[in-house]
Structure formats: C-alpha cells, structure tokens
C-alpha cells in the first residue's frame, strides 16, 4: 500500500529537499515546455512525502514527457510506446512495497496505450498515472493526438481532423479509477499537492496534467489564463462526479473523484510442494 511507502520515517537521519529527487541528467525539452513543471512538482511531492528514492520507481512509455524517469533520482524504467501502464502494473504487483508512478503523454497513454489505460483503471492496482496532456504528438513533429481539438488546423491535418476529442476523465471514471484529478504545469506547487494526494490515495490514481507544447501548439501559452484552479470538489460518489463532468470546461482543476475501492492485491502463492502439484492444477 502506498500509505506505507509514503510514510515519513521519524527515525530517518536524512532530510531530502526537492533537488535530491532530481538526477544529474538535464532535460532536453524545448524551453517553455510544460513538462519542466511536472519534474519540479514531482520532486516537491516526493520531498513532501519524505519518500526514499530507492523505494520509488518512475515508469514511462515513449514521447517527450516519457523522458521523465531519466530526470529523477529514483529508479526508473523507460519502456515501449503505450506500454508504460503494463510495465508499471507488473512492477507494482511484483514489488508492492514500491511507490510506482507511471508517466507519459496523451498520445502514449490514450492512443497507443489506450487499451492499457482502460484496464489499469479497472484493475485498480495501487499506483499513480500522470499524463502530461498537450493535445499533440510533439516528439514526432506535431501530429494530432486523441485529445487534439477537431478543428486544429496544421500542416499534418489541414482543416483539422474533424474527430471528437477523447475524454480521459470520463473514461477514467467509467472504467473504475479510484482517484481522478486534473492539474496544470503552470502551477507546480498546486500540482505537487495533487501528486501527493494521488500517490497517497489507495488504488489506481489518474492525474491528467495540462502541459503546454510551446513548439507545436504555441497558442497553449494562453492556458494559464484559461485554467480554473480548485474548480472540482472531491467526491467519493461516482454519479456525482459524472454529473460534474457534464459541465467540465476541460480547464477545471482539482480532485474530481477520490474513491474508496480496495486496490487490487494478488492472492498469495499457494503452497506447492513439488512441480507436479503445480502441473496438476493445469491438467485439462
């Protein structure tokens, strides 16, 4: 359970500040990128929870935002495209003592990894999923992603895709995520508080983070004027959260839903005296 991994150790001799959670690898993101705010917030949240970096694993897929594991001093795993949640799930089930934080972007998480997203919500394994949503595939030079607005006109999708956007919070709520929130990279301190709540909440926590791409979506610099901090009021009531989403502007921030569903816990191994006993269980 995360409560154990996050507990501050009163006997610990080491007091870590946010910078202790950052590695010596310097980010190569474009100056102005929102993802810098996530590294900042994640480090602050880890310091706030007094986590030992050796007890934390940051797992990612592919994309600009998926570089994050390299920038943190904790353990990290830079996996394959769209499969970050699969890797994170396996890790958490095998090592429940670890605090597992999965990171990625909207393309990685909602398109290539969309199926994993649904089932990670459903399974409710005790881990946190941070999606840096910039409504574009930045690393591959600006293709429309699942959350791109239908009328976003670009060289790669002239006149827009005409496709309705994917609704991550709606999907997360419908498929069983136990914690759902939205943050903004322009508010690293507020985002750190949301990350802390997400990690501390048992089960699968989903945190959608609006993270502007200044290179391919420079108009997103206006997001800081559009976000509505603390607009959501946390509830453990799914129908109430669903009704609230009906009037979501896409820029409403805060905790939408904090549920109490017990996290998935694998049953302990049965006592097996010999390989033959195990084989017998699988005989058709």
Partner 1 sequence: MSAHTRARTAHSKLPRTVAEFMAYAYSMEVEASERYAELAEQMSAHNNREVAELFAKLSRIEGKHRDQIAARMGWTSPPDVEVFRWTTPEGPETTDYGELHYLMQPHHALRLAEHNEQQAVEFFERFAAARVPAAVQAAAREMAEEEREHVRLIREWLARVPPLEPGWDEDPDPPAGAD
- Contact residues: partner 1, CB under 8 A: 18-19, 26-34, 36-37, 40, 44, 47-48, 141-142, 154-156, 185-190, 192-193, 212, 214-216, 221, 224-225
Q: Is 209 helix (H, G, I), strand (E, B) or coil?
A: strand
Among the residues of the chain, which ranges form H helices? 2-6, 35-48, 68-71, 84-94, 106, 114-123, 168-175, 188-200, 223-226, 238-245, 275-280
**In the complex, what is the shortest distance from the CB of residue 139 to partner 1, in angstroms, rounded to a whole number?**
11
Q: Least distance from C-beta 37 to partner 1, angstroms?
A: 5
Spatial separation of the C-alpha atoms in residues 236 and 119, rounded to whole Å: 20
Choose between 34 and 61: whose C-beta lies nearer to partner 1: 34
* Closer Cβ to partner 1, 64 or 173, answer by number: 64
Q: Which is nearer to partner 1, 219 or 237 (CB)?
A: 219
Which residue's CB is nearer to partner 1, number 29 or number 152? 29
Return the C-alpha torsion angle 26, 35, 48, 252, nearest 10: 170
* Cβ closest to partner 1, residue 81 vs residue 224: 224
C-alpha to C-alpha distance for 27 and 112, rounded to whole angstroms: 24
Closest CA to 107 of 80, 86, 132: 132
Nearest distance, CB of residue 147 and partner 1, angstroms: 19
């Amino acid at each position: 359970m995360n409560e154990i991994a996050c507990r501050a150790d009163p006997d610990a001799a080491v007091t870590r500040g946010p910078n202790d959670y950052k590695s010596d690898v310097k980010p190569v993101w474009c100056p102005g990128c929102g993802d810098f705010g996530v590294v900042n917030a994640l480090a602050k949240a880890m310091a706030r929870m007094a986590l030992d970096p050796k007890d934390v694993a940051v797992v990612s897929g592919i994309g600009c935002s998926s570089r994050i594991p390299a920038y943190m001093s904790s353990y990290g795993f830079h996996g394959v495209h769209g499969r970050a949640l699969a890797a994170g799930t396996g890790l958490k089930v095998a090592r429940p003592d670890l605090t597992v934080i999965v990171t990625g972007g909207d393309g990685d998480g909602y398109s290539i990894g969309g199926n994993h997203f649904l089932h990670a919500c459903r399974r409710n394994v005790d881990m946190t999923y941070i999606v840096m949503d910039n409504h574009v595939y930045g690393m591959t030079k600006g293709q429309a992603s699942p959350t791109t607005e239908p009328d976003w006109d670009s060289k790669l999708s002239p006149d827009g895709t005409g496709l309705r956007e994917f609704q991550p919070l709606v999907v997360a709520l419908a498929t069983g995520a136990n914690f759902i929130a939205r943050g903004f990279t322009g508010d690293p301190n507020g985002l750190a508080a949301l990350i802390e709540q997400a990690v501390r909440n048992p089960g699968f926590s989903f945190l959608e983070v609006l993270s502007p791409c200044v290179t391919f979506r420079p108009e997103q610099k206006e997001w800081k004027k559009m976000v509505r901090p603390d607009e959501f009021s946390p509830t453990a009531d799914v129908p109430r959260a669903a009704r609230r989403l009906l009037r979501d502007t896409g820029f409403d921030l805060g905790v939408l839903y904090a549920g109490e569903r017990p996290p998935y816990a694998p049953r302990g191994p049965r006592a097996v005296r010999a390989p033959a006993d195990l084989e017998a269980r699988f005989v058709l």
